[in-house]
Amino acid sequence: MTAIIIIPARYESTRFPGKPLAPLNGKPLIQHVYENSRKSRLVQEVMVATDSEKIFKIVLEFGGKAVMTSKEHASGTDRIAEAAASLDYDIIVNVQGDEPLIRSEMIDDVIRLLDDKRAAMGTLIKKIEDPEEIFNPNVVKSVFDKEGFAMYFSRAPIPFDRDQWKDIRGIGDWGLGIGKSSKTNNQPLTPNPCFKHLGIYSYRRDALLNLAKMEPVELEKTEKLEQLRALVNGFRIKVKETTYETVGIDTPQDLERVKKWLSLSS
């Protein structure tokens, strides 16, 4: 099967306007994402889909490929679907334009998930090691069946550990980092096997184009999670656990943290 990575990148952002062009170690953020994506062994092409002439120009200047898309898209999924509609690839990979630490191994893993013909989409999960992430609504959690197909995604802690978290005050303390002990028995809380969802997807081309035509569903609007539209409409999403971590950049403060991380690891 042939595969292409399409990186959605819009200029306007409520929390971080111009984010794709923010400098990181001498390069714009979008260039880090593009160059790391190019390292994938299983893709034939990498492309940026943007609504910004500034981003389009910068991508061309560093030798990348880009396509202009509508400014009216409500999501990255809609943006890559517009780009994919005129392309002839079996698999479309959505790599977020604000994840400069994305690894080629992660991209190859989501592509291989579609070797299972039952899967319309593939994505990655990682076991949560920091207990506070379980209760952080910005960290999306996932549960899946024995064959590795997603059952649900939520901002809430799932699965819910009824015995350990039965004292709601204990959950609040743990989630806020105030304490790590249960209110009822004063025993240390131990993480249950919760998995967080990493925002990289592979789609079969037809599944992506059909999904983009569908109206948002109530669960999607409630949780603010696009992947729930796919599940509600019967698309099967196969997941794979990874040991790799990614860091999405939503604010200038996130960018500073990544800069410090890169300086320490270099």
- Taking only the tens of pLDDT, the chain with its 266 residues reads 999 999 999 998 777 889 999 999 999 999 999 999 999 999 999 999 999 999 999 999 999 999 999 999 888 899 999 999 999 999 999 999 999 999 999 999 999 999 999 999 999 999 998 888 888 888 899 999 999 999 999 999 999 888 777 665 545 554 444 334 444 444 555 556 899 999 899 999 999 999 999 999 999 999 999 999 999 999 999 999 999 988 888 888 888 888 887 776 65
pLDDT attached to residue 257: 85
pLDDT attached to residue 185: 45
Q: Which of 105, 93, 67 is nearest to 245 (CA)?
A: 105
Q: Which of 133, 187, 176, 177 is nearest to 156 (CA)?
A: 133
**In sequence order, what are the beta bridge partners of 187?**
none
Q: Which domains does the chain have, with CATH numbers?
A: 3-127+195-265 (3.90.550.10)
pLDDT attached to residue 262: 78
The alpha carbon of 257 is separated from its chain's Cα centroid by a whole number of angstroms, namely 19
pLDDT digits (tens, 9 = 90+) for 182-206: 444 445 555 568 999 998 999 999 9
3-state class (DSSP) for residue 209: helix
CA distance 174 to 241: 25
Asked whether 114 and 240 are in contact (CB, 8 A), the reply is no
How would you classify the pairing of strands 150-154 and 141-144? antiparallel
**What does the block give as tokens for 124?**
């990655």
pLDDT attached to residue 171: 52
For tokens 């999501």, the residue is 75
CA angle 29, 33, 37 (to 5 degrees): 165
pLDDT digits (tens, 9 = 90+) for 148-163: 999 999 999 999 888 7
Cβ-based neighbour number of residue 113 at 10 Å = 20
How would you classify the pairing of strands 195-204 and 141-144? antiparallel
Handedness of CA 178, 125, 80, 34 (dihedral sign): positive
Asked whether 76 and 8 are in contact (CB, 8 A), the reply is yes
